[in-house]
């Protein structure tokens, strides 16, 4: 899959797995657009030819390189609407005897498919549990053992709290986050249960698509529980290795919600690298938030709450096996973690 739109368009959102081969740079695309508005189509096409002409050899070389990566398969080209940009690059590919397919409707058509997919009913099930229970690790272990799983935090490159970006790659845009979720759902068609972590509507700067969020609000929820000591140990393992200054800044961001006393205690513990003590201050706040959300989730019918499972002392892999063996979670045979 070759996306010939400009780099800024590609960065905003693209078909997952597509390679970017921009016909124009961001500045060139803007110049062509301005020329089209001010002088008309013919002048814009002429400018485009002048800009692209010196790069034909480079573009051809990259097309041949993409073709070598998937021998026997056609190159699948697209731009925004399947117009002149993709048609021009397709012409170049054909001059090099490369087989080409054009994506009908371009990226715009893909985006319509993405947004429509969130209005489709899915068998969504939620995995809940207080902070530090290892929900993400458990979801990944479930996926490895045949559970149908979508890791919303992994797709967002964020763990969901004020501290969630620490040690993670840059987040995608909300648009591209939607693209990644839609593709993950598509891979799980036919599953009887699709398990997601019980999240807030916002995962860092990425927003869960409205249609999916609405289904999550109505979905049954299975709660997992672990003792406080295990939860603290989990948080220390994840965050104790992070930059001390970044931990301080993340704590200060939620100072109003923590309160002055807990904030001061947490900051002092971070300064002294007493990670367990710092984690305890955070858990007091996050536990109250989680308990409130759990209560609200079950307000409109007890069928939304599937009960709880105590996973004390179990690794993520052992816990996943126990949940599958007990029938609490149904294995599917495919995963999208």
CB 36 within 8 A of CB 23: no
Selected catalytic residue, list 79, 133, 206, 289: 79
Question: What tokens does 307 get?
Answer: 């009960």
Q: Which helix (H) or strand (E) holds 307?
A: strand 305-310
Strand 75-78 to 100-102 pairing: parallel
Q: What are phi and psi of 249, to 5 degrees?
A: -65, -40
Sign of CA pseudo-dihedral 272, 273, 275, 278: positive
Query: Phi and psi dihedrals of 224, rounded to 5?
Result: -110, 150
- Is 79 a residue of the active site? yes
Q: What does DSSP say about strands 194-197 and 202-203: parallel, antiparallel, or unpaired?
A: unpaired
């699948």: which residue's tokens? 76
Give catalytic residue positions.
Answer: 79
């Amino acid at each position: 899959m070759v996306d010939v739109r400009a780099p800024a368009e590609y960065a905003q959102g693209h078909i997952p797995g597509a390679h970017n081969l921009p016909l124009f740079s961001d500045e060139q695309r803007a110049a062509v657009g301005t020329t089209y508005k001010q002088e008309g189509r013919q002048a814009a096409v002429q400018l485009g030819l002048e800009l692209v002409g010196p790069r034909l050899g480079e573009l051809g070389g990259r097309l041949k390189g993409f073709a070598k990566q998937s021998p026997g398969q056609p190159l699948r080209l697209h731009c925004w609407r399947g117009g002149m940009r993709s048609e021009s690059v397709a012409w170049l590919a054909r001059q090099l005897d490369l087989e080409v397919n054009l994506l009908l409707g371009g990226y715009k058509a893909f985006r319509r498919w993405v947004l429509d997919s969130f209005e489709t009913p899915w068998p969504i099930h939620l995995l809940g549990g207080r902070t530090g229970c290892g929900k993400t690790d458990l979801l990944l272990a479930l996926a490895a053992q045949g559970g149908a799983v979508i890791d919303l935090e992994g797709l967002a490159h964020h763990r969901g709290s004020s501290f969630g970006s620490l040690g993670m790659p840059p987040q995608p845009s909300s648009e591209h986050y939607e693209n990644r979720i839609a593709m993950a759902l598509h891979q799980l068609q036919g599953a009887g249960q699709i398990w997601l972590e019980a999240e807030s509507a916002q995962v860092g700067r990425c927003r869960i698509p409205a249609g999916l969020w609405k289904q999550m609000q109505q979905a049954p929820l299975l709660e997992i529980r672990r003792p406080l000591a295990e939860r603290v140990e989990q948080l220390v393992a994840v965050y104790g290795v992070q930059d001390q200054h970044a931990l301080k800044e993340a704590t200060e961001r939620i100072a109003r919600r923590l309160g002055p006393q807990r904030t001061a205690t947490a900051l002092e513990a971070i300064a002294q690298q007493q990670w367990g003590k710092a984690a305890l201050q955070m858990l007091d706040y996050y536990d109250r938030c989680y308990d409130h959300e759990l209560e609200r989730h079950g307000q409109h019918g007890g069928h939304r709450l599937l009960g709880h499972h105590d996973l004390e002392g179990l690794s993520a892999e052992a816990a996943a096996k126990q949940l599958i063996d007990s029938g609490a979670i149904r294995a599917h045979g495919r995963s999208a973690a």
